[in-house]
Amino acid sequence: MLKSIRILMAISAYFNYEIWQMDVKTAFLNGKLTEDVYMEQPEGFEDPKNPNKVCKLLKSFYGLKQASRSWNLHFDERIKEFGFAKSEFEPCVFVKVNIQNTLYGLDPRLGIGFSFPLHLFVPPVPNSGIRATS
């Protein structure tokens, strides 16, 4: 992840692009599960008539082992529908050039991405010196 962020920041610095950051707080809630996953009934939501039954999950969520992969597959599928392609040099970066010769790039770990010459989106990275703006 740090490699792709460094690449994007180097491009931004070279061309004097503005840098923005964001976070998709519900990213892992958008992933689809490819196998059946069950959990115990959550506290406060137990069915008194069926206390031994379990819940089948319909979507992914934080803490689930499959959450990251599920979100990545969902993002990959959806972003390609908008004409983006994986970068051959950095597989976690997606790129697209439009008619106005604007380059757009996305990183699924970032949630959204960057656009040249408009904006470059990067995630907050601990101890990197990148700070959120208000």
**Over the stretch 30-85, which tens digit does the pLDDT of each residue have?**
778 888 999 899 899 899 999 899 999 888 877 788 888 887 788 788 878 877 77
**Residue burial 98-121, b: 16+ Cβ < 10 Å; e: rest:** eeeeeebbbbbbbbbbbbbeeebb
Confidence of residue 24 (pLDDT cuts 50, 70, 90): low
Tokens of 54: 């379990």
**Over the stretch 78-122, which tens digit does the pLDDT of each residue have?**
878 877 777 777 777 766 665 555 555 555 555 445 554 434 444
CB within 8 A of 35, min separation 6: which ones? Answer: 66
Taking the CB of residue 71, how many other CB atoms lie within 10 A of it? Answer: 22
What pTM value is reported for the model?
Answer: 0.56
Q: For residues 112 and 106, is the Cβ–Cβ distance under 8 A?
A: yes
Q: What is the DSSP string of 54-101?
A: EEEPSB--TT-TTHHHHHHHHHHHHHHTTT-EE-SS-TT-EEEE-TT-
Least confident of 2-6, 11-15, 41-45, 108-112: 108-112
Q: 3-class DSSP state for residue 8?
A: helix
